[in-house]
A and B are shown apart, each in its own frame.
Chain A
Amino acid sequence: MAEVSHQAYDPLATGSKTQQARSRGIVYVLLTFFALLYLSPLLIIFMNTFRPLDEIVREGFISVPDSLSLKYWGEAWGSFCIGGTCEGVSRYFSNTLLMTIPATIFSTALGLVNGYALSKWRFKCDAWVFGLITLGVFLPAQMTLLPWAFVLGQIGLSNTIMGLVLVHTVQGTSFTTLFCRNYFVAVPDDLIKAARIDGAGFWRIFRRIMLPLSPPIVIVCVIWQFTGIWNEFLFGTVFTSGENQPITAAIVAFSGSGTGERHYNVEAASVIFAALPPLFIYVLGGKYFVRGLTSGAVK
């Protein structure tokens, strides 16, 4: 939105040429420092995917691999024994996709409509309705575990991926409604007024005016929901069983402080697999994420 005009100014474009070069240098030094700091855990995980177990046990985690072996990647994906079946994380990976994609779509769609209704069709007590919905953002998961279990049991969805989709949709809609409502508030009311005078109804205005304006906020919601649901593990482990468990359950299986031995290399490779989709979404959508936020998701 304001990006175009912003390009016209450069905060560093003051002072003499050498001064400018020096401050530019400082900027890059600082950025590099932070980037290394931020990347270090990822690099360490990545290096450990190549190292045999005894090397890791003997030399510690932070060390350059002596040799490169892709064996553990293969094991992690397809043959390591997790949860009693020796199929690696591939099975859990698809479970998580089956859960994350519908829950992301449902909660984003609901959030869009809710946000539109709350911001452009003001009615009595709308602030209270909005407040109630957004309060859902704050409830600690540990607290809602047993009530959810009861509800899912009552409607026959316990131990199903569908049940998880429902839980994540309800919880996620709190977030998406918050984002979308704040985004749509910025759309000029005059646009809506004009459309209503022309006889357009609720859904028509939504389709013709709001939807075309919404891609930035849709991207924010999708990124937020997708990564949040993808990485959630408490509900994932508790509300599914056996073959339906999501990938975080498999990752937790690795990190357990149980009495079994730990295969750090396979664990590291699994972790990379589990992190790929959210990373991919961030890399792909990061630009739009910031742009979407710029145009008013959070105000």
Chain B
Amino acid sequence: MINLLRSEFFKLRTVRLNIWLPVGAVVALVVITGLVGLLSSDPQDFTNADLMGMIGAFSILVSMMIGVATSLGITSEFGHNTIRPTLAATPNRTMVFAAKAIVSVLFGLVVGAVAVTSSYIVGSVLLNGRDADVGLSGDDGSLASFFGVIVLAGLLALFGYGLGLLLRNAPAAVSIIILWPLLIEGILSGVLSVAGVEDPQKFLPYTSAFALVIPDPNDGPGGRISGGIFFGLVTLALVVGGMVVNNRRDV
């Protein structure tokens, strides 16, 4: 399994898109945080939660980009037919797909950690240099939000991989990653509301996961932990479904 993990990680880092996509997303988050730190009219009013709330909100886009990268990683295997030499080199498909899943999650966690750490440092240095007093605290949820960004990045990386594995089609997988929270869950929320379901957002997995990055978990539909677990289970189901289907399919 170690050989397989090394091989899959090597594959991931030897395709330029997998480098530039997350780098671009991280840089965008750092730049946005930096601009807020520089241009905020009342920096002294900025709290820990404000900074992490802002980083957390924009980090969702970073996580989506990570999901896009991991979905393209697996769909390109099918698109370029490199899945055939992959499975010829390692015939145990469950091992192959599990290794890819592990590498995807690690990739998401690392990029998420780099994104949140770098943007937090830039934001706090700039704001504190302008008489603000921001830091990370366990009391106001900013510390939890900090780690939530990393977890969401890992989950969305796995989500993208699972969708790609199930669909084996890059445009479809990427569209769903982007449109799911904006369109699919929007429609679903409306339908549930019309059906008389109280607080329908807590039944929407993607939206529930956003609670991970919100400093005040009460702002989220289902709370930080439950929202993360809900989305994690949906993601896991996608991956397991993709593995089961691909264990049977011809490649």
A binds B: no
Write the residues of chain B forming the contact surface with A, with a CB cutoff of 8 angstroms. none
